[in-house]
Structure 1
Amino acid sequence: MRLSHLAAAVCVVAGLLLPGPARAAQREAPAGLPGEMSGTGLPLLCDIPDIRLGSVASLRSFHRAMADCADRFWAVTFAVAGLAYTPPELSVTTGTGSVCGAITDHGAQYCPDQQTIVVRIMQDELRDPFRMNIAHSVAHEWGHHVQRLTGVLDAYNALYQPASGQARNLLNHRLEMQAECYAGVFYSAALDSIGPGIAWEAWLRAVSEADESQAHGRPGNLAAWQDRGYRGGATGHCDTWTAGDSAVA
């Protein structure tokens, strides 16, 4: 998700982590893994470089450093939970093609079959590199990779394919808002290292005031789930699947 372009469907994703299959069944959500994943609870020290105005090379370096930081966080988080973890590939490009087809006009996407995060460097980022907005490209898409690694992609597809209309929209919203929450969980450890250049509350206001997206849902809900992950610091706070429809609409 790019903050200034929430209206774009930027991801092809699926999966979840839930406290248990029984709770998931309340809304016919895919069965999740028992328990929750949490990291060490300690700040994550990452070396995230500055972004130079107009520099494609510095944006590439920034995204790669963000990827390394996210990889370290989720590797520890999975290890603490006793789960196997593999990092996604990262592709940073200025073009319009990727390993899973055309890139959206508005930036990042996750390719689940290839387990690859694709980030397209945009002209507006070169002109005005909003550090936290750019960082969120990696953090949000990594959330989708975490969903992929839960092994419930097929279960999600089984729910999505026979659904239609609003039911599909709500499934998409639950996916996207869980990825937002997972990004928040990552920020709970890494935000100081990222050096966002904006206070957390101001960032949430910016997210909540963005344009509404049919694919992602209401910006206010996106901000709320991101904050929930940030303040909770564990994936157990990211159960969008049993949340009421109004919390993910």
Structure 2
Amino acid sequence: MRVSHLAVVMCMVAGLLVPSPARAGQRTAHAGLSGEMSSGGVMPLECDVPAIRLGSVASLRSFHHAMADCADRFWAVTFAVAGLAYTRPTVTITTGTDSVCGTITGNGAHYCPEQRTIAVRIMRHELRDPFRMNIAHSIAHEWGHHVQQLTGVLGAHEALYAPASERARTLLSHRLEMQAECYAGVFYSAALDSIDPGIAWEAWIEAVSKADESETHGKPSNLALWQDRGFRGGATGFCDTWTAGDSQVT
């Protein structure tokens, strides 16, 4: 019953967040939820995302801010076409560990729902090896959580999480994180050329699938699956992780 409640919320969201307006044919969310896949018709989103200078904190800040502007443009149009209210999240960038939602650990980026803030920490390894796509993903993934906040998915998730068993909590977290990955893929379907990732999409997805496993996020192979599904589908209707089988989100 609890999982089905969140599935209902997700279906409502999918019905509202229709495919990107630039996408030929305006495919419906129902087609996306049925598993139909298509990669044609997405118009490139032209964003001015600068180069990253080795060892330069200022350069990385500029990159993150440009990524934020690009993601904001994409999601603002997507929400507008769906007839939904949209607000841009605050983006904070630091070299320390403190943020408005507490200590930044792990991958260096967090989304703070109450403050509607994406907090990004510039990591030392990024200064030594500024891999564009990996750094870009900090913004793209966390923006996916902001989309979940605006559409009520985070609130529904929180209501189900508190009383759930440990196993159910793990599955809920995985479904949440993998949907954010899928939303990042949807964004990439329009913005990838502007990001100039420095890696072919297929190679990037393979790298994602071989990353270290996270208890919160789930198996890298499934994270790669959902990110690729969003990219090739090009619409939020392809991101229904809530009714997917457990094996696709563990």
Q: Does TM-score exceed 0.5, indicating one fold?
A: yes
Find the aligned partners of 2:146 and 2:3 in 1 and give their Cα distance. Answer: 25
Which range is displaced more, 173-182 or 31-40? 31-40
| Unpaired stretches in structure 1, ≥5 consecutive residues | 1-23
What residue is the counterpart of 1:223 in the other structure? 224
What residue is the counterpart of 1:16 in the other structure? none
Are 2:39 and 1:38 aligned?
A: no
* Residue pair 2:97, 2:105 contacting (<8 A) in 1 also: yes
* Residue pair 1:228, 1:237 contacting (<8 A) in 2 also: yes
Are 2:66 and 1:65 aligned?
A: yes
Which range is displaced more, 36-45 or 61-70? 36-45
SS of residue in 2 equivalent to 1:210 = coil
Give the deviation of 1:28 after TM superposition: 3.6
The letter of the residue matching 2:87 is T
Give the deviation of 1:105 after TM superposition: 4.1
What residue is the counterpart of 2:6 in the other structure? 29
* Residue pair 1:51, 1:62 contacting (<8 A) in 2 also: yes
Find the aligned partners of 2:5 and 2:81 in 1 and give their Cα distance. Answer: 28
Find the aligned partners of 1:107 and 1:153 in 2 and give their Cα distance. Answer: 21
What residue is the counterpart of 2:81 in the other structure? 80
SS of residue in 2 equivalent to 1:27 = helix
The letter of the residue matching 1:185 is V
* Residue pair 2:113, 2:149 contacting (<8 A) in 1 also: yes
The letter of the residue matching 2:19 is S
What residue is the counterpart of 1:55 in the other structure? 56
The letter of the residue matching 1:134 is I
Find the aligned partners of 2:118 and 2:169 in 1 and give their Cα distance. Answer: 23
Give the deviation of 1:166 after TM superposition: 1.0
Give the deviation of 1:26 after TM superposition: 6.8
Find the aligned partners of 1:105 and 1:176 in 2 and give their Cα distance. Answer: 14
Find the aligned partners of 1:26 and 1:167 in 2 and give their Cα distance. Answer: 9
Find the aligned partners of 1:38 and 1:75 in 2 and give their Cα distance. Answer: 13
What residue is the counterpart of 1:143 in the other structure? 144
Quick one: percent identity of the two aligned structures? 73
Find the aligned partners of 1:208 and 1:153 in 2 and give their Cα distance. Answer: 25
Give the deviation of 1:38 after TM superposition: 2.0
SS of residue in 2 equivalent to 1:38 = coil
* Residue pair 1:63, 1:138 contacting (<8 A) in 2 also: yes
Relative distance call for 1:100 and 1:56 in structure 2 (3 A) is: same
> Structure 2 matches for 1:85-124, cutoff 5 A?
85-124=86-125
Give the TM-score taking structure 2 as reference length.
Answer: 0.87
* Residue pair 2:6, 2:153 contacting (<8 A) in 1 also: no
| Unpaired stretches in structure 2, ≥5 consecutive residues | 24-42
Relative distance call for 1:128 and 1:26 in structure 2 (3 A) is: closer
Give the deviation of 1:25 after TM superposition: 7.6
Give the deviation of 1:27 after TM superposition: 3.3
What residue is the counterpart of 1:185 in the other structure? 186
What residue is the counterpart of 2:37 in the other structure? none
Q: Deviations over 1:125-147 (max 9, x none)?
A: 00000110000000000000000
* Residue pair 2:149, 2:155 contacting (<8 A) in 1 also: no
What residue is the counterpart of 1:200 in the other structure? 201
